[in-house]
């Protein structure tokens, strides 16, 4: 099964992440980037990103990175994650994360890179656990997080590694609403359809004005330091 598939639902494109914990590795990046290329070639009115079963995404594929055998491969995998987030931040349409389950680390940041987040209400956590393994955030990732969250929430997520339920995430300003498992995707598509059709050039200009620093830092990522790359191994 391909790690990601694209479905069209009237004016909304739905990017389904379909492989287990939906971790980021070369195969998943190829599939996601290919789907976003299709979106760019034939633009829908809006985009929804969702996962499968109990996982939205748990971020970087640390097992793959540990077995890759080189810091170059690790850096390239992390670079592609940064590029994906930059692309979503500047995308000339409304994007909604339908957070159907666990969203950890890079998976949580994937949700943050979207414009709106709707989370499953009965199961799953949203969390930035990097502090638990002593892994600092790159400048681009830190800029993404602080651009999208209230200051106190960003501090708590990054410094404590707190796991948020849907109700807690709403209170903290991380997600806008929650829905039962069976309704998360349909609710996201419904909301995306209501927001579709805005002039693409205007949306992109506004997003770049809002998130220009984060986009520039994400696009300018050149690699993790050698000693940090080793921690993935």
CATH number of the domain residue 48 falls in: 3.90.226.10
Q: Work out the mean pLDDT of the chain and round it to a whole number.
A: 94
Q: In which domain, by residue range, is 153 found?
A: 4-232
204 catalytic per annotation:
no
Confidence of residue 231 (pLDDT cuts 50, 70, 90): low
How high is the pLDDT of residue 233? 38
pLDDT (0 to 100) of residue 68: 84
Mean pLDDT along residues 176-197: 97
Average pLDDT over residues 172-201: 97
Please compute the mean of the pLDDT values over residues 172-195 and round it to a whole number: 98
- Asked whether residue 195 carries a pLDDT value surpassing 90, the answer given is yes
Could you tell me which residues come within 8 angstroms of residue 47 by beta carbon, excluding any fewer than 6 positions away? Answer: 12, 13, 14, 15, 39, 91, 93, 94, 95, 96, 192
d(CA 26, CA 55): 19
Which of 130, 168, 183, 213 is catalytic? The answer is 130
Number of structural domains in the chain: 1
Residue 70 has pLDDT above 90, yes or no: no
Q: Quote the CA–CA distance of 17 and 2 in Å, as a whole number.
A: 9
> Is residue 11 predicted with pLDDT exceeding 70?
yes
């Amino acid at each position: 099964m391909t790690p990601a598939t694209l479905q069209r639902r009237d004016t909304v494109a739905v990017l389904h992440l379909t492989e287990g914990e939906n971790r980021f590795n070369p195969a998943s990046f190829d599939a996601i980037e290919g789907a976003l290329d299709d979106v760019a070639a034939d633009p829908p009115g809006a985009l929804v990103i969702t996962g499968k079963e109990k996982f939205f995404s748990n971020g970087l594929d640390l097992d793959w990175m540990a077995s890759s055998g080189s810091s170059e491969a690790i850096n390239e995998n992390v670079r592609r994650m940064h590029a994906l987030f930059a692309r979503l931040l500047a995308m000339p349409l409304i994007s909604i994360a339908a957070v159907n389950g666990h969203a950890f680390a890079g998976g949580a940041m994937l949700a943050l890179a979207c414009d709106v987040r709707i989370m499953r209400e009965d199961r799953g956590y949203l969390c930035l656990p990097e502090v638990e393994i002593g892994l600092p955030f790159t400048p681009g990732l830190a800029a993404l997080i602080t651009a999208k969250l209230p200051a106190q929430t960003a501090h708590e997520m990054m410094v404590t590694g707190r796991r948020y339920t849907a109700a807690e995430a709403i209170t903290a300003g991380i997600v806008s609403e929650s829905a039962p498992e069976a309704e998360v995707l349909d609710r996201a598509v419904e909301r995306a359809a209501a927001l579709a059709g805005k002039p693409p050039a205007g949306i992109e200009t506004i997003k770049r004005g809002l998130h220009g620093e984060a986009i520039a830092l994400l696009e300018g990522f050149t690699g993790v330091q050698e000693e940090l790359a080793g921690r993935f191994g």
